[in-house]
Chain A
Amino acid sequence: MSNMSIFDISGRAMAAQLVRLNTTASNLANANSVSTTKEGAFRALKPVFKTVSGGEGIATVQVSQVVSSQTDPTKRHDPGNPLADQNGDVWDAGVDQAGELVEMMETARQYQNNVQVLQTAKSLTLDTLRLEK
């Protein structure tokens, strides 16, 4: 038998989805932040999912790293902003807000799926324990 149980599989997947949800939350929180320079502007954070094999075809998932996204910050003319440079421009954070919201819903859905798997596995395990009655 493999040393990875169904509780490990779903539990670790839930942890990975939670990291994803956290990155989405920080991306949305920083979506309206501005910066004086392009380099200093916030870029969306993206988790990288990686399969962790448990042998015999079973596998769970983990976040191997969190990277900055390729979405470029956008320049906006706003001379009244105290962070504006000498041309009166500020850089808006490189966050695709609509994309982040879609990602948030997908994350929630997949988290729920794992919870459901865990619940089913738990009730079947308990049924098996009560077998002799």
Chain B
Amino acid sequence: MANNDPLFGLSGDALRLRSQRMALLASNIANAATPNYKARDFDFQKALESAQAGASVDQAAGQSAGYRVPLEASLDGNTVELSTEQTLFAENAVQYKTTLSFLQGRISTVMTALRGE
């Protein structure tokens, strides 16, 4: 596993991917009333693995992206289900915040080492 970021490691890529996924889920929510819009998402685990293998964030998200399979088909061809998207958006926001606190811990560790106290 090639780690391309010696300072932030996994968390740096994870934060970028979380932000990307947040934009994707926001797009789905924005298009909740657009006929024929197909909701999209990506597999976070897979995307993180390819980002760790050296792919850029855009590439990693693109490779593991797919269309959401709706629980109940709607007549206008739109596959956005607000309950699903809202749940995933909230989950993603919490995970973004979690990643942020991992980064915070990392930064304070490095700062302690730098100060030499």
Contacts and interface: CB of A to CB of B under 8 A. Distances in A.
Interface of A: 1-2, 4-6, 9-10, 12-13, 17, 20, 49-51, 54, 56-61, 106-107, 110, 113-114, 117, 120-121, 124, 127-128, 131-132
B97 A124 contact: yes
A59 B100 CA distance: 26
Nearest to B67: A57
Contacts of B104: 131
Contact of A110 (B26, B32, B37): B32
Interface of B: 15, 20, 22-24, 26-27, 29-35, 37, 40, 42, 57-58, 61-62, 65, 82, 86, 89-90, 93, 96-97, 100, 103-104, 107
B107 A10 contact: no
Given A121-B22, A127-B97, A128-B100, A57 B40 contact: yes
Interface secondary structure of B, over-half rule: helix
B5 to A, nearest CB: 15
A57 B61 contact: yes
A89 to B, nearest CB: 35
A56 B58 contact: yes
Nearest to B38: A51
A10 B62 contact: no
A57 B100 contact: no
A22 to B, nearest CB: 15
Given A113-B82, A127-B97, A60 B27 contact: yes
A12 B57 contact: no
B22 A13 contact: no
A131 B104 CA distance: 6
A58 B31 contact: no
Given A120-B93, A124-B100, 5 more contacts: A20-B33, A51-B34, A61-B34, A114-B30, A117-B89
Closest A-B pairs by Cβ, 8 of them: A13-B30, A49-B34, A59-B27, A58-B27, A57-B40, A9-B26, A58-B23, A117-B26
